[in-house]
């Protein structure tokens, strides 16, 4: 999607990266490793990657060193942004020129209980703000933080948290340039439903997917390129997003599953229930048919369609060929953010762990957050 934009600006991108020091937080996931690859092939002095997944860090290093030779210092750290170890790294390592934050709790299912939801708010909002302050103190050139298309008119707590993250970072943007990216689902990224298709296929298990949910999909390489473009070319408070083209259009998970199985040499066989799909696995697979259960979505937090911006946001569509830009408005009620912090602090100190109360706190902070509780979550699906 972005090859023409990259081609036209390649010299500028290379100059911005060459000899610079980069810290990539959450850099061992599918998107983070793709971003690290885009950086490291342009000759930085240092790339430090922080992630809590030790296994993913190992695979990221293997991926980067297998992609090509480089002279950069590449180091990984299996530590948490909220821990004393991360504070020590920041204290002892020389300052960074660019800090990129790819860390997030990204699943809608993470809002099903108050314990995971509470951590989601810490990671998606407050860790993002901490990193912005660090970047400011180090006088970094830019702080980049990944957002999501779900931040536009959010229908779930994850999207609402990312919208709040954007607003909280307005405060820090007075001291350091900050840019963002909202992008579509990254096809076959860790934990995604298409990634689940590959796991179910490898394990000889049935495939299950909603048939009424439509999503945009980009590749991991495209996600990494979009983040790089925003980091290096985005102005303060720019939110980059992929423009809709003939190559980027909404698709249903059902259609993706059918195409995926066809590519594997199987016909998708639609079953009437999860139970039928499980029971008929051996029989159907022997006939080169794959048991599938496609259903109407009935779980909390699922949005029927995706959007990258709202009618109330300023949008620039003529600066890049494949990239659109939302200009984040400074016209927000900062008192609402203060009230959110105070209410969340009170909720945590109360020890009630009341999930509904936590959702209400989010609704007050993000008035456009339209949460519909359906009494069922994705953990109750196959």
What is the per-residue pLDDT for 183? 84
Is 102's pLDDT higher than 80?
yes
What is the per-residue pLDDT for 298? 75
Secondary structure of 218-249 in HEC code, one letter for each residue: ECHHHHHHHHHHHHHHCCCCEEEEECCECCEC
Is 213's pLDDT higher than 90?
no
Q: How far apart are CA 354 and CA 113, in angstroms?
A: 9
Is 14's pLDDT higher than 90?
yes
Is 254's pLDDT higher than 80?
yes
What is the per-residue pLDDT for 320? 97
Sign of dihedral through CA atoms 66, 30, 133, 226? positive
Stronger pLDDT, 119 or 245, i.e. the higher one: 119
Q: Read off the pLDDT of each residue in 364-380 and give the average, rounded to a whole number.
A: 80
What is the per-residue pLDDT for 52? 97
Confidence of residue 251 (pLDDT cuts 50, 70, 90): confident
Q: Mean pLDDT over all residues of the chain?
A: 93
Is 304's pLDDT higher than 70?
no
Q: Read off the pLDDT of each residue in 315-330 and give the average, rounded to a whole number.
A: 95
Is 249's pLDDT higher than 70?
no
Q: How far apart are CA 72 and CA 75, in angstroms?
A: 10
Q: How far apart are CA 260 and CA 287, in angstroms?
A: 17
Phi, then psi, of 53 in degrees rounded to 5:
-95, 105
Sign of dihedral through CA atoms 39, 42, 47, 52? positive
Is 184's pLDDT higher than 80?
no
Q: Read off the pLDDT of each residue in 298-309 and give the average, rounded to a whole number.
A: 73
Domains along the chain?
3-185+219-246+310-365 (3.40.50.720)
- Residue 275 CB partners (closer than 8 Å, separation 6+): none
Confidence of residue 261 (pLDDT cuts 50, 70, 90): very high
Is 380's pLDDT higher than 80?
no
Please tell me which of 1-5, 148-152, 216-220, 378-382 the model is most confident about, judged by mean pLDDT. Answer: 1-5
pLDDT in tens, 109-160: 889 999 999 999 999 999 999 999 999 999 999 999 999 988 999 999 999 9
Look up residue 253 and give its two tokens. 């998970």
């Amino acid at each position: 999607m972005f090859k023409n934009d990259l081609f036209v600006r390649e010299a500028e991108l290379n100059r911005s990266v060459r000899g610079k020091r980069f810290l990539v937080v959450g850099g061992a996931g599918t998107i983070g490793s793709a971003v690290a690859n885009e950086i490291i092939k342009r000759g930085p002095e240092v790339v430090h990657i922080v992630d809590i997944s030790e296994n993913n860090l190992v695979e990221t290093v293997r991926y980067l060193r297998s992609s090509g030779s480089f002279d950069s210092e590449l180091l990984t750290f299996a530590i948490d942004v909220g821990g004393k170890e991360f504070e020590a790294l920041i204290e002892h390592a020389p300052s960074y020129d660019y800090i990129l934050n790819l860390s997030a709790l990204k699943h809608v299912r993470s809002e099903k209980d108050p314990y995971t939801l509470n951590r989601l708010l810490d990671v998606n909002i407050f860790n993002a703000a901490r990193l912005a302050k660090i970047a400011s103190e180090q006088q970094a050139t830019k702080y980049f933080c990944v957002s999501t298309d779900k931040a536009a008119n959010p229908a779930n707590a994850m999207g609402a948290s990312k919208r709040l993250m954007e607003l909280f970072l307005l405060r820090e943007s007075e001291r350091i340039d900050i840019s963002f990216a909202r992008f579509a689902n990254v096809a076959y990224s860790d934990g995604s439903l298409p990634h689940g298709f590959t796991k179910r296929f490898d394990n000889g298990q049935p495939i299950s997917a909603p048939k009424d949910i439509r999503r945009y999909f980009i590749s991991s390489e495209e996600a990494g390129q979009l983040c790089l473009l925003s980091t290096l070319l985005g102005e303060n408070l720019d939110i980059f997003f992929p423009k809709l083209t003939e190559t980027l259009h909404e698709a249903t998970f059902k259609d993706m599953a059918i195409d995926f199985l066809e590519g594997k040499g199987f016909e998708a066989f639609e079953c009437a229930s999860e139970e039928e799909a499980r029971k008929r696995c051996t029989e159907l697979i022997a006939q080169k048919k794959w048991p599938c259960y496609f259903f109407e979505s009935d779980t909390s937090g699922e949005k029927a369609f995706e959007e990258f911006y709202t009618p109330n946001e300023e949008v620039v569509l003529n600066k890049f060929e494949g990239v659109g830009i939302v200009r984040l408005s400074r016209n927000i009620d900062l008192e609402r953010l203060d009230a959110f912090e105070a209410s969340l602090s009170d909720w945590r100190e109360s020890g009630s762990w009341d999930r509904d109360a936590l959702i209400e706190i989010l609704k007050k902070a993000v008035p456009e957050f339209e949460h519909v509780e359906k009494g069922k979550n994705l953990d109750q699906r196959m």
